[in-house]
Amino acid sequence: MLIGELAKATQTTKDTIRHYDELGLLISHDRQAGSRVYKEFSDENIERLETIRMAKYMGFTLGEISQQIEDYYSGGISQPEQIAMLKERMSDIDQKMKELQGVKQFLFNKIQLIEQSPNEPNQEDCLHLMRESQGAL
């Protein structure tokens, strides 16, 4: 199928498909038609795009996905390896959630400081709030 057909079948933009193809995440072949060269994509790419979408949703970067996708499709990643990878991702998410909680606390404290101060808080006050927010974790 051509890029437009794949884009329509997967509700993915042509630019995204081109980018993923350049990264080696998709399988394509050049097809000559007169003086033009078109990319031909196999039906397998529909599933690959869904896999990429799901991996991105789980927080994996395109670099991480490109390192693992061939092993995934060839069965080269064992079940224990898959579980370990997902547990590591969960740990990363827990850490990010803690960091975001600190940012949220800082914003809350800064709002309170602004509401209670007739003047704009100075840089020192803001740095103190930031340290307090980080220390609360």
What would the mean pLDDT of 69-97 be, rounded to a whole number? 89
| pLDDT one-digit tens code per residue, 14-39 | 999 999 999 999 999 998 888 998 99
- C-alpha to C-alpha distance for 2 and 36, rounded to whole angstroms: 13
| pLDDT one-digit tens code per residue, 104-123 | 988 998 888 888 877 776 77
Which of 77, 101, 118 is the last residue in one of the domains? 77
pLDDT attached to residue 23 = 93
Q: State the residue range of the domain holding 60.
A: 3-77
Which of 28, 49, 77 is the last residue in one of the domains? 77
* Same domain? 24 vs 44: yes
pLDDT attached to residue 133 = 72
pLDDT at 95 over 90: yes
The three state secondary structure string of 74-137 is: HCCCCHHHHHHHHHHHHHHHHHHHHHHHHHHHHHHHHHHHHHHCCCCCCHHHHHHHHHHHHHCC
Q: How many CB atoms lie within 10 A of CB 66?
A: 15
pLDDT attached to residue 137 = 52
| CATH number of the domain where residue 48 is located | 1.10.1660.10
- C-alpha to C-alpha distance for 82 and 128, rounded to whole angstroms: 42
Tokens of 6: 């794949």
* Same domain? 91 vs 35: no
Report percent pLDDT > 90 for the chain.
53
pLDDT at 102 over 70: yes
What would the mean pLDDT of 68-85 be, rounded to a whole number? 87
* Same domain? 64 vs 9: yes
Confidence of residue 135 (pLDDT cuts 50, 70, 90): low
pLDDT at 132 over 90: no
